[in-house]
Structure 1
Amino acid sequence: MEPRELINFMSIAEKLKCNTRHSWTSTNRHESVAEHSWRLSLMAYFIQDEFPEADINKVILMCIFHDLGEAITGDIPAFNKTKKDEEIEDKEITQLINTLPEGYREKLSHLFKEMNELQTLEARIYKALDKMETLVQHNEADISTWLPLEYKLNLEYGEEAVSFSSYMKELRNEICNDSLKKME
C-alpha cells in the first residue's frame, strides 16, 4: 500500500478511537469502538486452544475489522439497531473497502462476506466473542450505567451465537453468572 493510501485509510480508522459505544468502562467512561475491537481480538487470541481446527489469525482479523463501518456511521447499540442501520453500515464498509488497493480490497471483501454469512467456524467464533465481550464489558461497568432493559438482555444476549460450541456456552454461562451476581 502506498504511504498516502495508508495514511488516508488510517485517518478514517482513527474515528474508531473517537466513536464511543453504549458500553461503559470500569472507570465510568464510555468505551470507544476501537477499545472493544482490541479486547475482542485479545479474547480471540486466548481461546485458540479451544478451537485448534480454526484459523485464529483469521478470527483475529475479523475482530479487528468487524466494526470498521462504525468509523463512519458511529455505534448503534444492538438493541436499537435496525435492518436499515445494518444495510447502511454494510454500504459504508463496501465503499470504504473499495478505496483500497486491489489485493486488500479483495481480501477484505471476502472476509466481510464470510463474517456476514456466518457459515464458517471462524465467523461463528468471531460473532460469539463479539457478543460475549459486550456482556463482559457491561459486567465490568458500574450497574448504575445499565438501562432497565439490560437486566434481562444481559441474561439473553448472544445465546444463539454461542450455540455451536460447548466452550462458548460455558463462557456465556460464566458471564451470565457474573451478571446475576452484579444484579444482586
Structure 2
Amino acid sequence: MDSRAFLDFLKVAERLKCNTRHSYTSSGRHESVAEHSWRLTVMAYFMQDEFPEADIDKVIKMCMFHDMGEAITGDIPAFEKTSADSDNENHVMEELLDTLPEPYRTDLKDLFAEMEALETLEAKIYKALDKLEALIQHNEADLSTWIPLEYDLQMTYGTEECSFSEYMKSLRDMVREDSRKKADMDK
C-alpha cells in the first residue's frame, strides 16, 4: 500500500480512539469505539475452540473493522439508531473504502457485505459477540451509569443474534444472569 494512503487511512481510524460510545468503563469514563472494537477482537480470538469450523481470522477482521464508519459519523446507541443513521454509516463507510487501493478495497467491501448479509457462520459469530460485548461492558460499569431502558435491554438485547449456537445462547444467558444480579444490587 502506498505510504500516503496508509497514513490517510490511519488518520481516519485514529478518530475511533476519540469517539465515545454510550457505555462506560469500570473506571467511570465513557468507552471509546476503538476500545469496544479491541475487546470484541479479543473475544473473537477465544472463539476458535467453540467454532473450530469457522475462519476465526475473518471474524477477527470483522470485529476490527465493523465500526470503522463511526470514525466519521460518531457512535449512535443501538436504542437511538434509525435506519437513516445506518444508511448514512454504510454510505460513509463505502466512501472511505473507495479511498483504499486494491486489494484492500475489494477485500473490505466483501467483508462488509458478508457482515451485512449475516448468512455465514463468521458473520453470525461477529454479530453475536458485538451485542454481547456491549452487554458485558454495561455489567462492568457502575449501575449508576445505566439509564432506565437499559434494565430491559440487558435482558433482551442480543438474544436473537446469539440464537444460532448453543454456546452463544449459554453465554448470553450467563451475561443476562450477571445483569440480573447487578440490577438486584441496586434494590
TM (normalized to structure 2)? 0.98
* 1:125 to partner: Cα distance: 0.2
Q: Residue in 2 aligned with 1:32?
A: 32
| SS, match of residue 23 in structure 2 | strand
Distance 2:141 2:100 in 1: 37
* 1:38 to partner: Cα distance: 0.2
* 1:132 to partner: Cα distance: 0.2
Q: Residue in 2 aligned with 1:5?
A: 5
Q: Residue in 2 aligned with 1:147?
A: 147
Is 1:107 aligned to 2:113, yes or no?
A: no
Distance 1:161 1:5 in 2: 35
Root-mean-square deviation over aligned CA pairs: 0.4
* 1:35 to partner: Cα distance: 0.2
Distance 2:101 2:30 in 1: 34
Distance 1:154 1:183 in 2: 10
Q: Residue in 2 aligned with 1:68?
A: 68
Distance 1:26 1:79 in 2: 21
Amino acid at match of 2:36: H
Gapped runs of 5+ residues in structure 1?
none
Gapped runs of 5+ residues in structure 2?
none
* 1:47 to partner: Cα distance: 1.4
Amino acid at match of 1:33: V
Q: Residue in 1 aligned with 2:169?
A: 169
Deviations along 1:17-41, one digit per CA (max 9) or x if unpaired, are 0000000000000000000000000
Identity of aligned residues (%): 64
Amino acid at match of 1:106: T
Is 1:20 aligned to 2:20, yes or no?
A: yes
